[in-house]
Amino acid sequence: MTAHATGSPIGILAGGGLFPGAVAREIVAAGRSVHLIGIEGEADAAIEAFPHSWVKWGEIGKLLDELKKAGARELVIIGSVTRPDMSKVRFDLGAILNLPIVLGLMVGGDDSVLSSVVRFFEAKGLTVRGAHDVAPRLVLGEGLVGRHAPSGEDRKDIDKGFAVVRALGALDVGQAAVVTRGHIIAVEAAEGTDRMLMRAADLRQWGKGRGRKRLGVLVKRPKPRQEMRVDMPAVGARTIELAAAAGLAGVALMADGVITAEREAIARLADENGLFVAGIRDVAE
C-alpha cells in the first residue's frame, strides 16, 4: 500500500535497466507522484506502469514540454544510456534553440559532460535530484549483504582498491578496480565494471597455488568530485555473478556511495557462490 501522493510530481528521465522503475516505486511509496520520460531505444517498456512519456534522442524541446505539462519541477536522471550516433540524431526546435549548449554536452569526459547536463536542466528551472536523495533505501550502507565477511587480507586489498580509485578517479578514469593480495589486476575504464571483471577473469593466475579457492576483491566507489546526482555508482546481480566467475573473494562497495535495485538477489548470489559483498567505509575519506 502506498501513501497518498502530495506535491508536484517528480520527473524521471529514464534510461535502461531496473533503476528508473525502482526509483519510481520508492518515490511513490514515500507519498509523491512521478512522471517518467523514457528515452526511446534505452528505457524499458516497464516504465509504462507509471505516468510516462517517450522522447527520442534530440527531442530536447519535447522533453522540457512533457516535464512542464506534468507539472514537474524536480528531475531525477537515472538508468543506463549509450552515446548516440550524432549523425542519426534529429534535433527538434527546442534542441536547435539550445544548439550551442547541446553540442557542448557531447564534449569532454564523463564527469564534465554530466556536470554540464545538470547545469543545463537547472538553467531551465528544474531542480536536479539524485536517486540517493529521493530513494535512500536503494543506497547500500555499511555492513554485509549476505553472510560472508572479508578477511584481514581482503581488507588490505580493499584499502588499496579505494586508494586506486581515488587516485585515478581524479583523472576521470573509472569507479572500480580489482586488487589481489596487493596486486592491481584491473582498473575500470570506459568499458564499465562488468567488462572489467571479464578481463580480470583471464588473470586468475594470481590465485594459483595460494591455498585458497577465491582470492582478490572488486572495489567500487565514487570518484573524487563525482556528480552524484546523475552518476552515483551502481551495482547489480550481474556484477556479483561476474565477480564470482572471476574467482574473487568478494565485492567491497563504499558505504553510502553505491546504489542497487537488486539487494536481495545480490545477497543470494553472494551466499550461493561463497563470496562476500559488503558496504565499507573508506578510511581515507
What's the whole-number mean pLDDT along residues 103-126?
A: 74
What's the whole-number mean pLDDT along residues 51-66?
A: 93
How far apart (Å, rounded) are the C-alpha atoms in residues 79 and 44? Answer: 10
The neighbour count for residue 191, using CB atoms within 10 Å, is 11
Q: Distances from the Cα of 4 to the Cαs of 28, 29, 38, 73, in angstroms?
A: 8, 9, 25, 19
Q: How confident is the model at residue 86 (pLDDT cuts 50, 70, 90)?
A: low
- Edge-to-edge order in the sheet of strand 52-55: 52-55, 34-39, 10-14, 74-78, 127-129
Q: Are 263 and 269 in contact (CB under 8 A)?
A: no
**What SS3 state is found at 4?**
coil
How far apart (Å, rounded) are the C-alpha atoms in residues 183 and 274? Answer: 22
DSSP class of 285: -
CA 77 vs. chain centroid, Å, equals 11
Q: What's the burial of 199, exposed, middle or buried (CB within 10 Å: 0-12/13-18/19+)?
A: middle
Question: How high is the pLDDT of residue 1?
Answer: 36
Give the three cell numbers for residue 44. 524499458
Angle subtended at Cα 164 by Cα 256 and Cα 196, rounded to the nearest 5 degrees: 85
Rg (alpha carbons) of the chain, rounded to whole number? 20
Q: Could you read off the pLDDT of 123-150 as tens digits, one per residue?
A: 999 999 999 999 999 999 999 999 999 9
Phi, psi of 281 (to 5 degrees): -70, 140
> Which residues partner with 128 through β-bridges?
75
What's the whole-number mean pLDDT along residues 226-238?
A: 90
Instruction: Please state, rounded to an integer, the average pLDDT across all residues of the chain.
Output: 87
> Which residues partner with 184 through β-bridges?
179
Q: Could you read off the pLDDT of 154-191 as tens digits, one per residue?
A: 999 999 999 999 998 878 788 999 999 999 999 998 88
Q: 83 or 152, which is more confident? A: 152
**109, pLDDT greater than 70:** no
Output the pTM of the full model.
Answer: 0.87
Q: How confident is the model at residue 2 (pLDDT cuts 50, 70, 90)?
A: very low
